[in-house]
Structure 1
Amino acid sequence: MKARKAELMVGRAVLAFMVVFTLAPFVALVSAALQEAGSNPTGLAWPDLRNIGNFKTAFQVAHLPELTLSSVLLVLMVVPAALVMASLAGYAIAVRRVPLGGIAFVVLLAGLTIPFESLITPLYYQMRDYGLLNTRWAIALPLIALFMPFGVVWMRAHFQGVPRELTEAAEVDGASSWRLLWSVHLPLARPALTSLAVLFSLWTWNQFILALVMVEDPLRRTMAGALGAFRGQYGPDLVLMSAGSLLIMLPTILVFVAFQKHFAAALLQGSVKG
């Protein structure tokens, strides 16, 4: 009994430490953002609500309305296409067991090990040859391709967890491959698809390097790209940079909080689907 209590206390202490460790930078950022604009933040300080206007100033000078629209357009260009391709590929490999599907899966796994930064230079020249530089397609098309390894592995893992008996029963009833996918597997894949859509959306929203390299117009980049432009213009003003960082982070935090149950459902799905 005592050992059990000690184990619980240690577990709670570790969790409490992790919570503090995770929230400390965020608290420091809030503290810096609510200090006087143009000053150097003096560490953790009680927030001065009289400086709440720092957020309005950062919102305007960083052109966040235009970059928010640009990020939304990029998400709409990337996420639906990536979801469709990942679902079809995962279904083909896991359920239909297409020829060479195992080799394709190994290649996709290898793709997960390639550092993203190493692909920037060849992607730049490829987009230049296609005449797509300084357009949102120069960001969207590479992102769709870069998301495929993770997306296919994710959806394959889900489709493999569906009981084989469901597939065989539908085939006995005369369901075609498309009917099997549309009527049996996709309804069961809703948590996995929702989680994958959220991840793709967040990764697209926060994309910085690709947007910076492929697009010269700052207003066609992503929200994360705003921080680079903001820092270049107002580098010494750490207070406004902190306020701008919080504004850029806010949509990501809200989306994650809103869809956290879907993440849990996707990760905890058992072999029996309902």
Structure 2
Amino acid sequence: MRISRFEAGVNYTLLGVFAIFALTPLVGVLLTALTPVAEARSGFGLPSTLALGNFGEAWQRGHFGDYMLNSVAVTLGVVALTIVLSVLAGYAFATMRFPGRTVLFYVMLLGLMLPVEAFVIPLYYDLRGVGLTNTYWALLLPQTAQSLAFGVFWMRNYFLSFPTSVLEAGRVDGATDRALLWRVLVPSAGPAMMTMGLLVGMWTWNEFLLPLIMISGEGLRTAPLGLAFFQGQHATEQSLLAAAATIVALPIVVVYLFLQRRFIAGMLGGAVKG
């Protein structure tokens, strides 16, 4: 379907307005991060000089090197576990027939509607009872469980959209379920898994409440949790706070910009059939 020049102009105008609204606060934070500490103030304004040293000072004073490594380790672990388990469960729900399949699937989808605030306190006591609080497992396991509802739903819908004739031909030729999954479906599911991994990675990286409740020692703090403590210690130094916030947000932005084409391909070609 072709659109007229007027319709295209209206679309670009609306998108431009939305982009301005979305980018305005980000530009404000970046300008504040580049403003010398002595000149920092609320609102927008161009700095007299670019104080790039704010980033180094915030990095050093906030110990963000350790916090970023913790966040990277937790995020990679959660993404890897979520992708593997979601692929296995999604394939089972999409292609296998077993008693209670539909009920079990919809029970799992309840995880999409249950906020972490509803179960974080009993979860803390459960993990403390088995000695897992203040460990990486206290961050890996709950956040993987949180992500599985979306991951299983996403991969199930992708596998349902795959041509059944290909799977049936494989079964006729004697292919097992394992061979069909890993040799036929998974190689074609790259964009869908990339999109899921990027979304799960973004949610895991930005998670604040679980690390706040589960982690008591400074050595295992994640980047968002470290940023909160940094804010409490440097509440009046707006330039350093903006620089620290930019440091914490930058990895996810870079990863998204690097993988944006695959992300969009996965969004457009992924979960279509329910």
Query: What TM-score comes out, normalization by structure 1 length?
Result: 0.93
Q: Distance in 2 between matches of 1:67 and 1:30?
A: 21
Match of 1:7 in 2: 7
Other structure's SS at 2:236 match: coil
Match of 1:233 in 2: 233
Q: Distance in 1 between matches of 2:90 and 2:12?
A: 39
Q: How does 1:42-191 map to 2 (within 5 A)?
A: 42-191=42-191
Is the CA contact (8 Å cut-off) linking 2:191 and 2:270 kept in structure 1? no
Match of 1:211 in 2: 211
For residues 21-47 of structure 1, what are the alpha-carbon distances to aligned partners after superposition, in whole Å with 9 as ceiling and x for unaligned?
011001100111122215542421113
Superposed CA RMSD in Å reads 1.8
What is the CA-CA distance between 1:99 and the residue it aligns to?
A: 2.6
Match of 1:246 in 2: 246
Other structure's SS at 2:119 match: helix
Identity %: 37
Is the CA contact (8 Å cut-off) linking 2:36 and 2:47 kept in structure 1? no
For residues 190-222 of structure 1, what are the alpha-carbon distances to aligned partners after superposition, in whole Å with 9 as ceiling and x for unaligned?
111111122222222221111111001133121
Q: Distance in 1 between matches of 2:252 and 2:263?
A: 15
For residues 96-128 of structure 1, what are the alpha-carbon distances to aligned partners after superposition, in whole Å with 9 as ceiling and x for unaligned?
233322111111222211112212111111111
Q: Distance in 2 between matches of 1:41 and 1:57?
A: 18
Is the CA contact (8 Å cut-off) linking 2:192 and 2:270 kept in structure 1? no
Q: Distance in 2 between matches of 1:111 and 1:4?
A: 44
Is the CA contact (8 Å cut-off) linking 2:158 and 2:270 kept in structure 1? no
Is the CA contact (8 Å cut-off) linking 1:218 and 1:229 kept in structure 2? no
**Residue type of the alignment partner of 1:147:** S
What is the CA-CA distance between 1:267 and the residue it aligns to?
A: 2.0
State how many pairs are aligned.
269
Q: Which moved more, 1:36-45 or 1:103-112?
A: 36-45
Match of 2:257 in 1: 257
Match of 1:24 in 2: 24
| Large movers: runs of 4+ above 3 Å | 3-6, 47-50
Q: Distance in 1 between matches of 2:219 and 2:20?
A: 36
What is the CA-CA distance between 1:9 and the residue it aligns to?
A: 2.5
Q: Distance in 1 between matches of 2:48 and 2:213?
A: 38
Match of 1:223 in 2: 223
What is the CA-CA distance between 1:48 and the residue it aligns to?
A: 3.8
Q: Which moved more, 1:226-235 or 1:147-156?
A: 226-235
Structure 2 unmatched runs, 5+: none
Query: What TM-score comes out, normalization by structure 2 length?
Result: 0.93
What is the CA-CA distance between 1:63 and the residue it aligns to?
A: 0.8
